Amino acid sequence: MVALDDVDFAARPGEFVAVVGPSGSGKSTLLNVLGLLDDPTSGRRLLGDTDVTSLSVAERTRARKESIGFVFQDFHLLPTLTAVENVAMPTAFDPGDASDRAANLLARFGLGDRLDHEPNELSGGQKQRVAIARSLINEPAVLLADEPTGNLDTDTGEAILAEFERVKAEGVAVIAVTHDPLVEEYADRVVDLTDGVLTGGLPGESDPHADADRRGGRDAGRTAPGPQVGGDRG
C-alpha cells in the first residue's frame, strides 16, 4: 500500500499551510514524514537548507527537538504531570528551568489559572491548548498540527488560530492537517491530499487569488524555503 504517492511539498518560513482531504488519505502520514517521525521509501527531505533524509536516529531526534513542534490530535499529555510540567517537558534535559517560559505560554492561551492542574482536571479544549503551548516551548522553526481545532469551540478555535498567526509572524512555518473550514480561512495556502496524491503542495501552485480571498488579504509571509519533502513514493 502506498501512503504518499509522488509527493512534492514545501512551506516557507512565516507561511500557514492547511492540508485537507478525506480521512485515510495520508494527511497524518505526511505530517509524520515532515516531522522526521516516519521515513519515506524514496525521495528527499530538507529542513531549511539541510538534507535530513539520511540522518541517524539520534540526529533526527536532535533535529526534531531543536526545530520542530508537534500538536498531536490526541494531545499526548503525561497524566501525572501538571499543565506547566507538560509544557516544559521537551526541555527536561536542557540546562536551566523552563517553568517560567512554560507558564507564560499557558497564560498566552488563557490557562494562567490552570498551571497546576493535571490532564484529568482539564477539559478537552484546555488539553488541546496545553499541547499547543508545549509545541512552542523550544521556539521551533516549524509547527506541525494534526487537527488543532478539532476539540475546540468556535471562539477558542479562533483564539488558537490567531495565536498561530502570531507565531507565523515570527517566521515559523505552520502546517496543519484539518477538516475545519475555519482553519482554511486562516491559512495562506490550502493543499489537498486524496489517496496519497497531493495537489498544490509547492508555493505558487495554488490559485493566489483564491488564497487571498479566503484569508481576507492576510500576508503570506517570507520567501525562504521551509520544510520540504519530495520524491517518488513514500
User: Is the pLDDT score of 164 beyond 50?
Assistant: yes
β-strand partners of 227: 47
Question: Residue 221's pLDDT is what?
Answer: 36
Give a yes or no: residue 220 inside a domain.
yes
CB atoms within 10 A of CB 40: 19
Q: Which domain holds residue 157?
A: 8-81+139-230
Number of domains present in the structure of the chain: 1
Is 6 in contact with 233 (CB distance < 8 Å)? yes
Give a yes or no: residue 42 inside a domain.
yes
Residue 176 pLDDT grade (very low, low, confident, very high; cuts 50, 70, 90)? very high
User: What mean pLDDT value characterizes the chain?
Assistant: 85
Greatest mean pLDDT range, 70-79, 123-132, 170-179, 195-204: 170-179
Question: Residue 23's pLDDT is what?
Answer: 87
Give a yes or no: residue 149 inside a domain.
yes
Question: Residue 91's pLDDT is what?
Answer: 93
To the question of pTM greater than 0.85 for the whole model, the response is no
pLDDT in tens, 197-231: 888 877 776 554 455 555 554 443 333 345 665 54
Give a yes or no: residue 26 inside a domain.
yes
CATH for 145: 3.40.50.300
Q: Percent of the chain, pLDDT > 70? A: 86
Give a yes or no: residue 184 inside a domain.
yes
Instruction: For residues 109 and 8, give the distance between their C-alpha atoms in angstroms, rounded to a whole number.
Output: 34
Give a yes or no: residue 127 inside a domain.
no
**Neighbour order of strands in the sheet with 173-177:** 68-71, 142-146, 173-177, 16-20, 189-194, 197-199
Is 232 in contact with 10 (CB distance < 8 Å)? no
Give a yes or no: residue 117 inside a domain.
no
pLDDT in tens, 28-61: 889 999 999 998 888 899 998 899 998 999 999 9
User: Is the pLDDT score of 6 beyond 60?
Assistant: yes
Which amino acid is residue 98, in one-letter code?
A
Give a yes or no: residue 110 inside a domain.
no
User: Which one-letter DSSP state was computed for residue 131?
Assistant: H
**Residue of 67, 82, 54, 196 lying closest to 143 (CA atoms):** 67
- Element housing 85 (H / E): helix 83-88
Alpha carbon 143 to chain centroid distance?
A: 3
User: Is the pLDDT score of 131 beyond 70?
Assistant: yes
